Structure 1
Amino acid sequence: MKAAVLREVGQLLQIEQVQIDKPGPHEVLIRTAAVGVCHSDLHFIEGAYPIGKPVVLGHEAAGVVEAVGAEVRTVKPGDHVITCLSAFCGHCNYCVDGRLNLCVSDEVKRGQDEPARLSLGGQPLPNYFNLSAFAEQILTHEHAVVAIRKDMPLDRAALIGCAVITGYGAVVRTARVEPGQTVAVLGCGGIGLSAINAALIAGAGRIIAIDTAASKEALARAFGATDFVNAATSDPVAAVRDLARGGVDHAFECIGLPKTAEQAFEMLGRGGAATVVGMIPPKQMVSIRGSTLLQEKRLQGSNMGSNRFPLDMPRLVDFYLQGRLKLDELISRRIRLEQVNEAFAEMKTGEIARSVIVF
């Protein structure tokens, strides 16, 4: 099959022929229909996060099941599915406690004594987030996919698998925003816009979008923002505290920088919660003023929106088909696999929401 391969940090992805194995007992083979180009992949391309190479990246996908292993019970050939990088085993302490997104069991991977799911020139490849979705096919564990209704367009469904579930889940599951509360969202990329949309669905009274690109204002307001702060021309903390009369109930950092995480905490009102959604590089530190903790402010992380994706994703599909979840507006352009490097170059400009590779 054709796939986009990263061979070295900082290099362009190469379109190569990669070999894919047959499904094991609990595995699913998917014909990829669409995959979003996510900023998380860029972190690995640039070396901010380590990974074995060569490797096929990509994780925000949707497609059609082609074949399943003998013990698969959750999907069948012909099903339309969304993938999710937070694969779960179903019986560890985290899974039993309902925190599927925190499962780190190796049971969803192949063992070292088994053949690799993917190989290149006879050499095994890492299976990136159990998916490696920048490819014509995906081979993964059944607990990394969920079946959805077939009237859902797959190019839009793909976005639910990462950007949407991460932004929506951070608001609804991690922070549990209540009707009437005030919300600030730092960063109006795919995840930030999804968080804004989720805050609207949750009934937030005021939703303040923050970005350094003035061009994002119209898009942020279309997704539900009531206010927009241009962080390139004004102090975002002062602006938000003024708009929210002292501070917001919830702030969501959707960029992945220590500075913006600190700003999210500083713009809280008493008893507020700042939720860091962005991927801050491992060795970077976040500093807060300890005295403000006496105001019962909280700084917390969110992993993949604290999702329970077998429940959440079909619901989000329903929201889209009801007109409540905005996905069409999230797609800046549809591209071919061969244009993946162009998509990453455009991502760095900060001017687009999401590029989607369509097969």
Structure 2
Amino acid sequence: MTVTCKGLVLRELGLPAPYADSRPLKLETVTLASPKPTDLVVKVRGGGLCHSDLSVINGSRGRMVPMLLGHEGAGEVVEIGAGIDDVKVGDKVVFQFAPSCGRCEMCQSGRPQICSAAAKARAEGGLLSGGTRITDEDGAPMYHHTGISCFAEYAVVNRGSVVVVDDPISMVDAAVFGCAVMTGTGAVMNTAKIQPGETVAIFGLGGVGLCGIMGAKASGAEVVIGVDLEETKRTKALELGATHVFDARDPELATKVADLTRGGVDCAVELAGAVAAMNGAYAVLRRGGRLVTAGLSPAGAQFGFEHADLVSNEKAVIGSYMGSSVPVRDIPRFLRMFHAGQLPVDSLIDGYLGFDEVNAGFDKLNEGKALRQILAPHGT
């Protein structure tokens, strides 16, 4: 059946801040088409406000509009397509923004997070099962955000875009596992593969970066360094497991880290989505060190380094999409770590919002005054 509901629609990129005034996200009535055989409909309980959403709003990472925004979230299944037999109505699910087809070269090589078919569907603003399912009040189609579009009361998604969880966590709070935790903790544990005793520096201490701090501590890193522009975020990093913190603007940062770590860190993880952070992260590496980056800089941004240094010191620069996570494996694993006290991600949540508060919420995110605010379409 079709579902008519409220959702936040982006119709114009690059409107100026403050967003509370320019209101780039408009609350509209939208219609979700009946699910195709491999689709399902989810009642959205929580949708996290993330820098990836902000980068679409401000136009630094262009997307097709009109688009129903939101990519980090969780909820409950209310309808399933005829071809789905492993999900039932009432199941709790966490969204994941990189579904996989299971057939392309990337999936077959064990890297489902960079599935070629899913990348094509995201670029087209559709679902992995093909096409779009959202129309506005005039019947005009609109695009999906990473195949999810969870800034709404309901979402129609492909089966591959959800992970069923049997867990007592509130589905509002579970939203953060759909991006912040997978990306930040995953970058440290899956991509960087931090080992006990290693030294780590995390650049960027927003919601994703603080998940990286927690992941580094849980991995047994001996030294965990947090680097950010904001003092409040550096203080939070110390609360969550960082052993040392530095101001990203410190001109002596590389020297101080080298003195602290006997020449530099084994691994630097860039989670800020800024070329300046990439430069800083590369500068603190020791010989043989590795730089992992999961941040997304504005389209066209370039990062450079001295080629001879990379070779002669055998350093490595490694990209990490969605924390190199395999969601069906990692979301349950990270939830277990949460309940064991190893990933206290609930401490990142600094507000629950209604639809009318989301534009102002993005102002707070843009100004560095928030970690993870969560839209709760049906209340907390």
Scaled by the length of structure 2, the TM-score of the pair is 0.91
> Which of 19, 26, 36 is 2:31 aligned to?
19
2:315 corresponds to 1:311 = no
Q: How far apart are residue 199 of structure 1 and its match? A: 0.4
- Counterpart amino acid of residue 74 in structure 2: A
| Structure-to-structure mapping, 1:1-359, within 5 angstroms | 1-11=5-15, 12-105=24-117, 108-111=127-130, 116-120=132-136, 121-293=138-310, 294-359=312-377
Give the 3 Å change call, closer, same or farther, for CA 297–201 of structure 1 in structure 2: same
Deviates more, 1:342-351 or 1:103-112: 103-112
- Counterpart amino acid of residue 97 in structure 1: S
**Could you report, residue by residue, the CA deviation over 1:215-237 in whole angstroms, capped at 9, with x for unpaired residues?**
12221012110001022345322
Q: How far apart are residue 182 of structure 1 and its match? A: 0.2
Deviates more, 1:238-247 or 1:200-209: 238-247
Deviates more, 1:303-312 or 1:92-101: 92-101
- Counterpart amino acid of residue 142 in structure 2: L
Distance 1:138 1:34 in 2: 11
- Counterpart amino acid of residue 350 in structure 1: G
Distance 1:148 1:207 in 2: 31
Aligned-CA RMSD value? 1.3
Distance 1:309 1:21 in 2: 26
Q: How far apart are residue 153 of structure 1 and its match? A: 1.4
SS in structure 1 of the partner of residue 231 of structure 2: coil
- Counterpart amino acid of residue 135 in structure 2: S
Aligned residues of 2:13 and 2:62 also touching (Cα < 8 A): no
- Counterpart amino acid of residue 341 in structure 2: G
Q: How far apart are residue 80 of structure 1 and its match? A: 0.4
Deviates more, 1:227-236 or 1:284-293: 227-236
SS in structure 2 of the partner of residue 283 of structure 1: coil
Aligned residues of 1:182 and 1:244 also touching (Cα < 8 A): yes
**Could you report, residue by residue, the CA deviation over 1:108-140 in whole angstroms, capped at 9, with x for unpaired residues?**
53435xxx3101121111111000111111111
Deviates more, 1:140-149 or 1:150-159: 150-159
Distance 1:260 1:239 in 2: 16
Aligned residues of 1:229 and 1:239 also touching (Cα < 8 A): no
**Could you report, residue by residue, the CA deviation over 1:304-329 in whole angstroms, capped at 9, with x for unpaired residues?**
10110011001111111222211111
Aligned residues of 1:253 and 1:275 also touching (Cα < 8 A): yes
Distance 1:163 1:292 in 2: 32
Runs of 4+ in structure 1 displaced over 6 angstroms?
none
Aligned residues of 2:38 and 2:129 also touching (Cα < 8 A): no
Distance 1:273 1:129 in 2: 29
Q: How far apart are residue 239 of structure 1 and its match? A: 2.4
5+ residue gaps in structure 2? 16-23, 122-126
The total of aligned residue pairs comes to 356
Q: Percent identity?
A: 35
Distance 1:271 1:143 in 2: 38
Aligned residues of 1:213 and 1:232 also touching (Cα < 8 A): no
Aligned residues of 2:9 and 2:68 also touching (Cα < 8 A): yes
